[in-house]
Structure 1
């Protein structure tokens, strides 16, 4: 069912994109200073929008053009201010996007059918726009880098809000966790290590690495691409993987090695400065009932210790016992996924993992739960967890005492938006901008063209 739907959708996009290129390839949609935006540039980004899984919506082209106009202005200022990005950064972003497109399309062959060209050709077409986009992002950051929000700014922002417009915050909780992941012993792991060794032996004997990766690799992100991970630097992968990737020469195949994800072996395809391009095959060991039983026994033991202790330190217990790297160094506390940048530990109850919400709903503040078995909805992995309910904040109207962090974020966003808007307003007045009449009625483009330029366009 999924494959049929994807095939129909891909065919629809391909036809739309191909027709748009035939009829509008050389049309100039806009001129910004010394730069031009072609209609084909807009159609290309609209095709990317569709292949990312979005529903057809031609009005999106107005937003695409607005984004390209802002990108051009920022990039042109970046040249003046000598703002640059490294080729390695561009290559990394190109590879990241291509992996995403291939995954969405279902395979590299399907993506190439949709595009009407090879992935290599498409990468070459994408690269200039991605480079300009990265430069524009860096220029935007430079414009706003001095924006600072003081406590007085937050107070002023709050006092200017009318009582009727004060935000209402839902019930929130602070929840900690200690995670006990099932671990296989040496004997249990041996079967999976041997499976990886057998696949490596087949590659060494001449079988195609990419075909074996598609058939047997358990890495969902790279298996459809023949195990290809694209280019990456030393900061991206886990240390064991990085060590193997960066010590091999082009064409060499690593021995089988273990990481937290399972057993791998990899082949280096290309080296480029401080980046390496590899493909790999991953074999993930399956959790056994015996390993689950061992995890539960450990969790029960830690729970009993915490119950017996009069004043237990949950933060220290999480740092010492938890197997979850994301929370153990944060005192075991879960972070609000919608406010990761602010590292807020206050999570609306409607945003909690349903498994966590079910348990914490009956807990008292300051208490810990008995160990319970959890299933990760994304990976399907199982683990035992002890939960800690640190605080509960009931639904309420915003106030400075309880919601300073949230109000500071809102005040900062307002200052950032105002700074960027003022910069663009000034740059638009100083820059020649001409937009094709087809797009001058777009609401997002209001104010981008002066009245004189609009009148001139209508008479042409």
Structure 2
């Protein structure tokens, strides 16, 4: 049996492959059974096709590789049900809603998705319900099998020592950075100007003088939607949208344009294109009031005073973040930026381009706090920040001193995989197994095949 590090990846691919949920199979048959769980020929070969369609590498003997993963998935699901592991319908519904919202965004709208799929949104969700439920049960079962697995420093060292020297990973320079951010406030006169501009765009669109999407392309300050006429697919329950934006959008009827309103990004008007329950397609125009040099200088002076207190030791950087920082995404991490895994070290290519340029020019050293620096973020919002460089590593080959946590993570994962291997070896013989003769020559599946009942065409 192959290492199970690919198992969860495979389960995600199975559930995420949209075409599997909507493809009509003209000829199919059962090629595997684990207990009362069946595997269809289409499950195997559609997965191969989907990987090719997404431009992903297809392993040698892909049919054997995928079949083994499906047998593994079904065995974990079967055991989860025997152990009374429960997955709530609300949890599955939430996963399905997120998946469908992704499809709507990908294909340009609810109607477009239903047309491409040849199914209603409800039917698409039902197509995926079983695979999502099985994936979640298998994950819970895997967690249960490995929940007691721990790792010691000695085991981490032994794992590291087994890695061939020419196979040690190479890491580029990484940094740990924290920041205090202020966003200069525009004058009331420039706020009123932005509001008046939006009111005029609303009148033009409602009178038919200009199309809303054309106005968005010409005048919106939102780089994420400007080119497609301000269009977004949104859902009322999503937490990453500004509350004011969601509230104003879902007050509208189809074709209606909102009054001018304010969000944390600036001022907006929204046009409701179409709505179905908690899902909607909208267009919006964002205007960000201009910031004058006077407002920027006020923010610079304020942060200059904060920096002086930090350097004098009368205020810690964390205290400065809590008291002054206006950047919500990092305020609750002590102002420290985080990578996609929630860690505090980031490669330079994970930083925004303004931060990369700043680090290149500033010569800031680890432990130092920068002078206030002015920048424009990805939302085209002007800010001023203090940057605290906690640490910076040089490009290096992997070693235990600098990369212990990374090595330990891989070591414990290998240990969990070994526990899973032993669990499967003890359990395979207790399952009813049928594997079609199409897979009888799969060497990687020998452990499964020796316990399977014989089949014939």
* TM > 0.5 fold call: yes
Q: Work out the number of aligned pairs and report it.
A: 420
Cα RMSD over matched residues?
A: 4.8
Please, which of 144, 147, 161 is the counterpart of residue 146 of structure 2?
Answer: 144
Q: Secondary structure at the match of 1:336?
A: coil
* 1:27/1:38 contact within 8 Å kept: yes
* Cα distance change of structure 1 residues 300 and 114 upon mapping to structure 2, 3 Å threshold: same
* 2:318/2:335 contact within 8 Å kept: yes
* Cα distance change of structure 1 residues 317 and 146 upon mapping to structure 2, 3 Å threshold: same
* 2:191/2:289 contact within 8 Å kept: no
- The residue correspondences of 1:207-222 to structure 2 (distance < 5 A) are none
Per-residue deviation, residues 13-59 of structure 1 (Å, max 9, x unmatched): 99x989974433x32232121011223444665676577x5459597
Alpha-carbon separation, structure 2, partners of 1:317 and 1:288: 27
1:450 has 2:454 as partner: no
Q: Which residue of 2 aligns with 1:333?
A: 336
Query: Which stretch has the larger CA shift, 293-302 or 57-66?
Result: 57-66
- The residue correspondences of 1:297-336 to structure 2 (distance < 5 A) are 297-307=298-308, 309-311=311-313, 313-336=316-339
Per-residue deviation, residues 310-332 of structure 1 (Å, max 9, x unmatched): 33622222232222223223222
Alpha-carbon separation, structure 2, partners of 1:194 and 1:65: 62
1:260 has 2:264 as partner: yes
Q: Which residue of 1 aligns with 2:359?
A: 360
Q: Secondary structure at the match of 1:334?
A: coil
Deviation at 1:300, TM superposition (A): 4.3
Per-residue deviation, residues 45-84 of structure 1 (Å, max 9, x unmatched): 5676577x54595976655544433332222222222222
* Cα distance change of structure 1 residues 28 and 187 upon mapping to structure 2, 3 Å threshold: farther
* 2:177/2:387 contact within 8 Å kept: yes
Alpha-carbon separation, structure 2, partners of 1:319 and 1:228: 34
Q: Secondary structure at the match of 1:332?
A: coil
Alpha-carbon separation, structure 1, partners of 2:42 and 2:85: 27
- The residue correspondences of 1:76-225 to structure 2 (distance < 5 A) are 76-149=78-151, 153-162=152-161, 165=164, 167=168, 170=171, 171-184=173-186, 188-189=190-191
Per-residue deviation, residues 282-324 of structure 1 (Å, max 9, x unmatched): 553325243x762453034313541474336222222322222
Q: Which residue of 2 aligns with 1:390?
A: 390
Q: What is the TM-score of this pair, normalised by structure 2?
A: 0.71
Q: List runs of 5+ in structure 1 lacking aligned partners.
A: 1-12
Q: Which residue of 2 aligns with 1:4?
A: none
Q: What is the TM-score of this pair, normalised by structure 1?
A: 0.70
Alpha-carbon separation, structure 2, partners of 1:277 and 1:110: 14
Q: Secondary structure at the match of 1:367?
A: coil
Alpha-carbon separation, structure 1, partners of 2:230 and 2:429: 47
Alpha-carbon separation, structure 2, partners of 1:360 and 1:50: 40
* 1:196/1:256 contact within 8 Å kept: yes
Q: Which residue of 1 aligns with 2:290?
A: 288
Q: List runs of 5+ in structure 2 lacking aligned partners.
A: 1-16
